[in-house]
Amino acid sequence: MQRYSAFSLLRHGINRHTTWAPAWRSPPLKDRYDVIVIGAGGHGLATAYYLAKEHGITNVAVLERGWLGGGNIARNTITIRSNYMRDASIPFYVKSVALYEAMTRELNFNMMHSKRSMIDVIQNYPMMRDRRRRQHIMDIYGSTYEQISEAEVRRRIPALTGGGPDARLPVVGGYVHTDAAINRHDAVAWGYARAIDAMGGEIHQQTPVTQLLRGADGRIEGVETPRGVIRAPKVAVAVSGHTTTLTETVGLKLPLRTMNLTAFVSEPVKPLVDVIVNCPDAGFYLSQSDKGSLVIGGAPDPGQSFRRDIKQTVFEDTVSAMLSLFPSFKKLKFLRQWGGHLDIAHDASPIQDETDVPGLFVTAGWWGGYKAIPAGGLTLAHLVATGRPHPLMEPFGINRFRHLDYVMETGTTTAR
């Protein structure tokens, strides 16, 4: 692998940047692999990366319907954090945040990681209690949460001028999560792809899987694509919203519903907000990108959805909620919007397990899965390679629904 550094930039710059090697190959598609990973999104790529790095399994194909970095890894709000609610969830996300912080060095790719804190703006006392409860659990596992006063919230977010004493929901205080960060989503996809390629794995874009294939013994046998049948004794499904679409091709039902979570950005403006702002009572969150745009998200569409654009009603609700706390943002111009298909499990926690079809693995239910990418890949690679769940993922098997042993998670941003 060609290493990136200030020196290499200088050297290739002298050659007018004509001498850079491609960051990854486009090898011919074989008809057999040891492992097929469906979906070259964050979770699929991280899985292939850790299969090679931790377990030495490199005869792996990652199949992508679209193009690299064009799925949900580009359809989120790049928020990395570990302020979750449940004993089962927090250690997993603490690990994921740590892996993200080490990623630039590990992949030799600049993630533009910006650890900038997340401030929850709290507007009623039940939410304050919920945050305090989270803080007590997070303290156990080494995540950070700290209560601050209303005055301190306003000092740290000067643009927050609404929510005064006469408002319907006055700001009563806040909580700071100092581990929170944003980074560059394309760098995550490209950095993993380059590392996978260097270790011998293959990424095949424009290769949609239309059908899973089961052998006569019931085991997974491979997948069908428009480019032909590809066989492997182990197949991992990492496709977010379309998980059930794929698993139902082998008659497998899962407790997942697909929803559309959307976000939009404003025109670029001068530096204005230097933390991630989350307003759970008003129902929106925002951060400012390096380019200056405000990246704004709100609630998901009501009901199941396979659309990938914002609904007018969702957009209007989010904007009016935002203007109640940030009235000056009324002057901002809207630039663009997007949506991503997420599947949410019955208890709002992820599902990562080998299914009833031997050799078929799923990683799904990642509501806000961007922050879970490195640890989700680490744990799925462990499961695929060893056949046993990684300790961090043990609580999130499919059998919890058979035993009605739910892990009800309300730490997702939009679960209100």
Partner 1 sequence: MMQIPCPFCGPRNESEFSFGGPVKPPRPDPSAVSDEDWTAWLTQVPNPLGPVQEQWWHVRGCGTWLPIWRDTRTHEIVEAPDDGR
Q: Which residues bind partner 1 (CB under 8 A)?
A: 244-245, 253-258, 301-307, 311-313, 316, 343, 346, 401-402, 404
Strands 60-63 and 35-38: parallel
Q: By C-beta, is 143 or 324 nearer to partner 1?
A: 324
Considering the complex, what minimum distance in angstroms separates the CB of residue 145 from partner 1?
31
Buried-exposed string 318-345: b where 16+ CB fall within 10 A, e elsewhere: bbebbbbbbeebeebeeeebbbbbbbbb
Q: By C-beta, is 11 or 416 nearer to partner 1?
A: 416
Considering the complex, what minimum distance in angstroms separates the CB of residue 253 from partner 1?
6
Q: By C-beta, is 290 or 405 nearer to partner 1?
A: 405
Q: By C-beta, is 116 or 346 nearer to partner 1?
A: 346
Strands 276-279 and 118-122: parallel
Q: By C-beta, is 38 or 57 nearer to partner 1?
A: 38
Q: By C-beta, is 258 or 352 nearer to partner 1?
A: 258
The helix (H) or strand (E) run that includes residue 114 is: strand 114-115
Q: By C-beta, is 165 or 303 nearer to partner 1?
A: 303
Considering the complex, what minimum distance in angstroms separates the CB of residue 39 from partner 1?
17
Considering the complex, what minimum distance in angstroms separates the CB of residue 214 from partner 1?
19
> Distance (Å, rounded) from C-alpha 192 to C-alpha 61?
14
Q: Dihedral of the CA atoms 187, 308, 97, 286 (nearest 10)?
A: 100
Q: By C-beta, is 82 or 243 nearer to partner 1?
A: 243
Considering the complex, what minimum distance in angstroms separates the CB of residue 147 from partner 1?
33
Tokens describing residue 363: 């990683």
Strands 256-266 and 173-177: unpaired
Considering the complex, what minimum distance in angstroms separates the CB of residue 248 from partner 1?
8
Considering the complex, what minimum distance in angstroms separates the CB of residue 397 from partner 1?
14
Considering the complex, what minimum distance in angstroms separates the CB of residue 410 from partner 1?
17
Q: With contact defined as beta carbons under 8 Å apart, do 244 and 251 qualify?
A: no
Buried-exposed string 293-315: b where 16+ CB fall within 10 A, e elsewhere: bbbbbbbbbeeebeebebbeebb
Q: With contact defined as beta carbons under 8 Å apart, do 296 and 264 qualify?
A: yes
Q: With contact defined as beta carbons under 8 Å apart, do 342 and 366 qualify?
A: yes
Considering the complex, what minimum distance in angstroms separates the CB of residue 282 from partner 1?
18
Q: By C-beta, is 255 or 358 nearer to partner 1?
A: 255
> Distance (Å, rounded) from C-alpha 376 to C-alpha 50?
10
> Distance (Å, rounded) from C-alpha 276 to C-alpha 75?
17
Compute φ and ψ for 338, nearest 5 degrees: -155, 165
